[in-house]
Chains A and B, each alone.
Chain A
């Protein structure tokens, strides 16, 4: 396989922000097919902003985002739809539709984008829930299950159309260490078994060292990437003081 085929997401010279407020400037990076890629940084450095631009919720001011060969920055109509069908997103809050059962949440995209009969959609929904260890909860409403289960259900919904890439926004936020570790194991399992590329925003150090293949580190001051590589390598060798402190849980005085 050529190097180009190995690249799942390629970004070049991205500048983004809200209105006149520029959050990130001239950011470029690549995400390899099948890897677990983590976006890191301090609070307010633009992690979630970058994620929202990568999934097409907002338009970048300049630059290009290529997802599996398609340019999402220019995409509209059917092309945009094709790209969106390649990705799944799990939001920080889970964002499950509160008026629908877990099964109906997963069936929704299946009904819309496939011609599968209802019974098949229900079966697939049950399988997706089983993949995240939520079998038996098909008819529960999101409000009837715990926060950790909601996050797993949100991952199951994000996987409804068998996407090639899953974007997760702070999956461990608000979870206890055991639930958080279970979620990490789920991510690793899905990555290894299904070959899904994961792009994750988090600052949970335990999760980062457990699951990450590669990380990029965003900086609020320079509005750019200040480090990238394997987390262990960065922890041991990064010369950037902020990165070093971050990985070693130190406070600069």
Chain B
């Protein structure tokens, strides 16, 4: 077939004559190729349709070349005539091209398979979406239920139940290797926040209270939240991709037919690893955020000890613990969503990509929702 990039293609032209009342004579000339007939395809078909003649004679004596697209035009004219109970004859086509045409003319009604009928009923569409939504919620509840059973069983003999090499691998890959990026992001968060807060506070001579703002924000909210966001994008997505790829490669089926529960072997170890590493990373994140604030306060001319004393005066243990407890929940959310999305992966390489995206988006949404829930609970508890 001739490609668009190729040059100097002889043009395709056509000529229509009406030699008799019931006949249409269509003479084709030049190059019948994908490149040359595109502009005239619809025009030729419309012209043939307009005339409504019982017999169309297509004279191809001047056709110098004919590829699949050219055959497509000839068969389409033939098909349209056939559907109306009328006739079409192609004459004088070169022998090589005629052989190709004959293959398709054996079934004159041949046409591409119609697209599957799309549902247009809006109520049906809404109902179906709602059904899938409920089904999805149900599956998540089942997943959480099974997970709870596994963790309860694990309590009996955690040393034997968990595969500790897998747990420590998660801690190392998700924790140690993510440490630098988490330190950097939280350091910059503390720094940026301190700078932004310093501008209005300076007007009231309250520069030093930047320390209070940074410490409370970092310890209560931003430290655990930023850590969770990095973990969701980095480790949660990796869980979904790993498990999704295993599913596509039939490794999950292999586990099942060995009698090994995928939840126990692939999910519980990852969740435990994440529950261990998220709080530890959060402590590092808190420290980095406070350090970022310290750099700004120090640049205002305050000694470091003043910054530290200001923080110690403003922050209580509950503020730290409030953020610390959140990090366990965030760790659980990220790992369980990542694994769940991995396990529900369909077939094909694109399904792994979809699962990974869903894992990150779902984790972020749930983390923010959990953050909101914590804020409300802490407010009523007076923390």
Contact = CB atoms under 8 A, between A and B. Distances in A.
A89 B254 contact: yes
Interface stretch (B139-147, B228-236, B257-265): B257-265
B310 to A, nearest CB: 49
Contact of B246 (A55, A97, A108, A109): A97
Contact of B253 (A88, A95, A161): A95
B250 interface: yes
Interface residues of B, number: 12
Nearest to B251: A95
A160 B255 CA distance: 13
A91 B246 CA distance: 13
Contacts of A55: 257
A95 B250 contact: yes
A113 B251 contact: no
A141 B128 CA distance: 45
B258 A57 contact: no
A80 B257 CA distance: 10
A65 interface: no
Contacts of A89: 253-254, 257
B256 interface: yes
Contact of A57 (B245, B249, B256, B260): B256
B254 A84 contact: no
Contacts of A91: 250, 253-254
A98 interface: yes
A20 interface: no
A97 B249 CA distance: 9
B151 to A, nearest CB: 18
Contact of B257 (A56, A98, A112, A113): A56
A232 B59 CA distance: 55
Nearest to A87: B257
B259 A57 contact: no
Interface in A219-248: none
Contacts of A10: none
B250 A81 contact: no
A contact residues, range: 20 to 34
Interface in A158-200: 160-161
A97 B251 contact: yes
Nearest to A80: B259
B253 A57 contact: yes
A49 interface: no
A112 B253 CA distance: 17
A109 B257 contact: no
A98 B260 contact: no
Interface string A116-160: 000000000000000000000000000000000000000001001
A84 B259 contact: yes
A183 B291 CA distance: 63
Contacts of B250: 91-93, 95
A85 interface: yes
A98 B259 contact: no
A109 B258 CA distance: 7
Nearest to B254: A95
Contacts of A92: 250
A96 B245 CA distance: 12
A83 to B, nearest CB: 9
Contacts of A93: 249-250
A112 B256 CA distance: 13
A188 B256 CA distance: 27
Contacts of B251: 95-98
Contacts of B249: 93, 95, 98
A84 B253 contact: no
Q: Which one of A56, A81, A89, A113 has the highest number of Cβ atoms from chain B below 10 Å of its Cβ?
A: A89
A80 B259 CA distance: 8
A112 B261 CA distance: 11
A114 to B, nearest CB: 12
Contacts of B259: 80-81, 84-85, 109, 112-113
A121 B249 CA distance: 25
Nearest to B169: A99
B91 to A, nearest CB: 29
A108 B258 contact: yes
A8 to B, nearest CB: 17
A84 B257 CA distance: 6
B99 to A, nearest CB: 17
A88 to B, nearest CB: 8
A73 to B, nearest CB: 16
A52 B245 CA distance: 19
A112 B262 CA distance: 13
A84 B260 CA distance: 10
Interface string B236-256: 000000000110011101101
Given A84-B258, A98-B246, 6 more contacts: A89-B257, A91-B254, A95-B249, A95-B251, A97-B246, A112-B259
Interface of B: 245-246, 249-251, 253-254, 256-260
10 contacts: A52-B253, A55-B257, A88-B257, A89-B257, A95-B250, A95-B254, A98-B246, A109-B258, A112-B258, A161-B258
List the 6 closest pairs (A to B, CB-CB), nearest first: A84-B259, A95-B250, A95-B254, A91-B250, A89-B257, A109-B258
